[in-house]
Amino acid sequence: MPSFAVSGYNAGLLFSSSISVVVLGLMLFMSVRLYAGNRKRAYRNLLISLAFIFIHHFLQLTLSIGLLPGASVLAFIGKLLQVSAFIVMNFAVFELYYRRRPRTRLWFFGLLLAAFLIAAGGALPGASAADAGLAERMRHTPVLDGYMLVLPLLFALMFGPHIGQRRKYMAGLLAAFLSQLFVFANKYGTSGWNFEIAAELMQVVYYVLIFMLLFERVVELLTSAYRSSITDGLTNLYNRRYFVGQLERALRSGKPVGVIFCDIDNFKRLNDTHGHHRADGVLKQVAGIIQEETQGSGLAGRYGGEELVAFVAGPALAGMQTAESIRARTEKETLVTLSIGLCVAMPGIGLGAEALLKRADQAMYQSKTTGKNRVTDYAELPDAGEIPFGPPARRGRSGAH
């Protein structure tokens, strides 16, 4: 019958392993969900490394309480799993930020192969399983331990400068290095359970830091995906659907809201004479101006093509001031000019976002047909009250641009 007596060291090992299992469980759950939604290699490698680490800690726990025989073999397998998991996990973290290239793939398989060759060479130097010294060599593998000591330094040089959360990643590598340093000191220097406990605690710190890095990276990816779903890829302005939704919210705020509808003058000619690349650059430049002028008081969006829209919430005159500032800056800072329409909605007027956009569009068309490079307020149009509500009209104005 195995003995279940728990020494001071084993109690510490049991405690640290329990914390590690909780943290690793959270990481495993997160990795499974990520891999189920997007079968990226990075998520798969995270799952593999976490599986290896779980087995490693299971073997540690069984050794600490004497649950299974063959302590030397289990310790050897656990150490090899720990080294392999460390390699796989660090490459997985790197691949959360970058695609694996042929050179990276070569490093990945090379480091894993080196670990297995070192383990095999250290445990079986011309000996059979019946060799009396085999058990001791499997329990003490100085070359494999030294290899594990070098790996954090190697990854700090390879991946440290490239990981987005550099400080957290480097702190994790430092914890892993210290953990292995304590293991090395305990095995081949001054032994003592204090070193072993310190090694286990540093390992827990490493897992916590990697979990924090993974969690924050997932938040970054989700935020980026959400941002991509509500913005235009070229101009980085909000897309039409999101813009209209935010305009509806602004109209319910009880403040005056000025809707600004901009159309780039002679944009088709710019496209034809300077090419799409130059035209796209000008479009982004104009979008940046509109974004800057409405920052803090409203929102800017791309309505479609060369039509850019914005709204500002505040005093009734703020809309005209912002529109004129956009027009003047565009004329001064870019190759093009803008025809702009403005429609201001006062609280309680009962207009929806689409109706306001239609009126601002009508005012913009007035600017376009009366000289361009100007701002027209919808309220100045003679037939302002006769324009029906509904989605903004789509006119074929490309010939006039």
Q: What is the strand order of the sheet 338-345 is part of?
A: 298-304, 307-313, 257-264, 338-345, 374-377
- 158 is written with which tokens? 């390879």
Judge whether 95 counts as a catalytic residue.
no
Contacts by 230-234, CB closer than 8 A, 24 or more apart: 232/301, 232/302, 234/280, 234/283, 234/284, 234/302
Q: How far apart are CA 257 and CA 316, in angstroms?
A: 7
Contact 141, 122 (CB under 8 A): yes
Q: With residue 387 as reference, give the H or E element that holds it.
A: none
| Active-site hit among 196, 200, 306, 307 | 306
Residues forming a β-bridge with 312:
258, 298
Closest CA to 336 of 286, 274, 370, 385: 286
Q: How far apart are CA 300 and CA 242, in angstroms?
A: 10
Q: How far apart are CA 112 and CA 86, in angstroms?
A: 10
Q: How far apart are CA 45 and CA 95, in angstroms?
A: 9
Q: How far apart are CA 306 and CA 287, in angstroms?
A: 10
Contact 323, 261 (CB under 8 A): no
Contact 397, 306 (CB under 8 A): no
Q: How far apart are CA 355 and CA 375, in angstroms?
A: 19
Residues forming a β-bridge with 257:
313, 345
The catalytic site residues sit at: 306
